[in-house]
Amino acid sequence: MDVAVWNSIFVAVIYFLYFAVILTTIFVVILDNRSPVKTMAWILVLFFLPVAGWILYLFFGRSTRKERLISRKGYARLSKRPMAAYQEQPSVMAEHGKQRLMDFFSRVNNALPFSGNRVTVYTDAVSMLSDLLKDIYRARHHIHLEFYIFEDDAVGRLVRDALIDRARDGVKIRVLYDDVGCWKVPLDFYEQMLCEGIEVLSFLKVRFPRFTSKVNYRNHRKIVVIDGCVGFIGGMNLAERYVKGLGKGNWRDTHVRLEGKVVYGLQTAFLTDWYAIDRTLLTSAEYFPPISVKGGVLGQIVTSDPVGEWRDIMQGLMMAICSARRYFYVQTPYFLPNEEVMTALQTVALAGVDVRLMLPKRGDTWLIHKGSLSYLSEMMKAGVKIYLYKKGFLHSKLMVCDDELSTVGSTNMDFRSFEHNFEANAFFYDKETAMTLKEIFLTDQKDCFLLSARIWEKRSWKNKITESVVRLLAPLL
């Protein structure tokens, strides 16, 4: 046979192998039994963008649901002391029907509710960083930090240098940062801490080809624990933009400082993540010291991850939404909800509950912001009030309901937070904290404009088409 025939056979074989790989991948996606929306999204990507789609699936599509971060026996050892403290306290009861939500988190997430806590709320990074640095310099035994972003800039170096100072004083310090969130940070930044005796680890380090699928499963948590009795959790990372904002306008975020036994939940979350990466199980009593009553707040630290059996925070939010009787307010920078959450919000709004959703007028990511806008018409048709924050970029993840329930943490109202990220939220079951966060929402509302359905429908066809196309990819963003 001549060269042309051999070339034709070679090309035919390549095409056959290529389509066999794509069809096999589609078959695997179908057998994975994900939600139909997510399955169809991957099939569309693989069908219309076969080469790029297969690469995207290699990095972002494979499931790790069957893996475990820590064995049940290991977790039982880790949570032994928090459990003992939980059992010693008087019976804790949430107000007015929120007990079911608290019980759900206890059963499904092993999230222990503790009473007698004090909560300090921050709406700007300057105040949060100021108190964080004070607590770092007050530390006597250990400091645990876990952030999605720990940047090499003025803010990151300020915190790093404070940690180095304390390490020289003999304080034990562990730092956990996300490998993807800190891709641009030079290794020298972390090596300076390592050289001072600080233990520094990256979460699910992505190295081709072994851990390519891990790029999609990121640790989005923001947790600080100091001496086992003071903690921080919320939406703020350690980076200068959280102080200065992006371009024109401020950066609006929400973070909380916790004092009391609820910090045991933060400590358990951090030590579980540390074990997952370092394989060292830290269960010493020094990490769970006796804590006296600090205030009147009843709270729970709830985590979620892509490897668990359930979608704990997402399912809990659905319960909270469906239990709302008077109002449910939400702040989120990204709004790409799955069908369950979207239906829950629409249903309670149709039932007469005052549902308000606050988003940034301008997003920090064009693609995700366009996708978020595609859901607004359906929300408004059901009676959900949409507020667009115009003073700067709204990065706050805050929810408050009926003056009884509130939550602050790292979880966004989107597929990524619900399905792919490691997240952590603090849930509070008291009127004082709920009223504080409600007042913050209403204050931010003054810097928003209420979106009108009539005006919204007049936006250009170009925007409508762009939003609809992006929405097809929402489960993958």
Contacts of 344 (CB under 8 A, 6+ apart): 318, 321, 322
Q: Which of 179, 273, 312, 402 is catalytic?
A: 402
- Picking from 14, 31, 22, 33, the residue whose alpha carbon sits closest to that of residue 57 is 22
Q: Is 184 exposed, middle or buried (0-12, 13-18, 19+ CB in 10 A)?
A: exposed
Number of other CB atoms surrounding residue 22 within 10 Å: 17
Q: Can you tell me the distance from the alpha carbon of 254 to that of 440, in angstroms, rounded to the nearest whole number?
A: 9
Measured over the CA atoms of residue 411, residue 414, residue 418 and residue 422, the dihedral's sign is: negative
Q: Can you tell me the distance from the alpha carbon of 290 to that of 82, in angstroms, rounded to the nearest whole number?
A: 10
Establish whether 220 is a catalytic residue.
Answer: yes
Q: Hey, which residues does 103 pair with through a beta bridge?
A: none
- Picking from 40, 44, 112, the residue whose alpha carbon sits closest to that of residue 339 is 40
Taking phi first (over 0 means left), then psi (-120 to 50 degrees means alpha), and beta for anything else, what does residue 252 get?
beta
Q: Which helix (H) or strand (E) holds 43?
A: helix 36-48
Q: Which of 227, 305, 312, 430 is catalytic?
A: 227
Establish whether 395 is a catalytic residue.
Answer: yes
Q: Can you tell me the distance from the alpha carbon of 476 to that of 45, in angstroms, rounded to the nearest whole number?
A: 10
Whats the size of the chain, residue-wise?
477
Q: How far is CA 220 from the centre of its chain?
A: 5
Q: Which of 220, 255, 369, 438 is catalytic?
A: 220
Establish whether 38 is a catalytic residue.
Answer: no
Q: Can you tell me the distance from the alpha carbon of 88 to that of 82, in angstroms, rounded to the nearest whole number?
A: 10
Q: Hey, which residues does 424 pair with through a beta bridge?
A: 303
Establish whether 98 is a catalytic residue.
Answer: no
CA angle (431, 398, 418) in 5-degree steps: 125
Q: Which of 397, 430, 438, 447 is catalytic?
A: 397
Establish whether 397 is a catalytic residue.
Answer: yes
Establish whether 103 is a catalytic residue.
Answer: no
- Picking from 272, 475, 262, the residue whose alpha carbon sits closest to that of residue 374 is 475
Contact 177, 321 (CB under 8 A): no
Q: Which of 222, 294, 420, 438 is catalytic?
A: 222
Distances (CA, A) of 150 to 71, 145, 156, 202, 235: 29, 10, 6, 11, 13
Q: What is the 3-state secondary structure (H, E, C) of 393-438?
A: EECCCEEEECCCEEEEECCCEEHHHHHHCEEEEEEECCHHHHHHHH
Q: Which of 38, 261, 369, 395 is catalytic?
A: 395
Q: Which active-site residues does the annotation give?
A: 220, 222, 227, 395, 397, 402
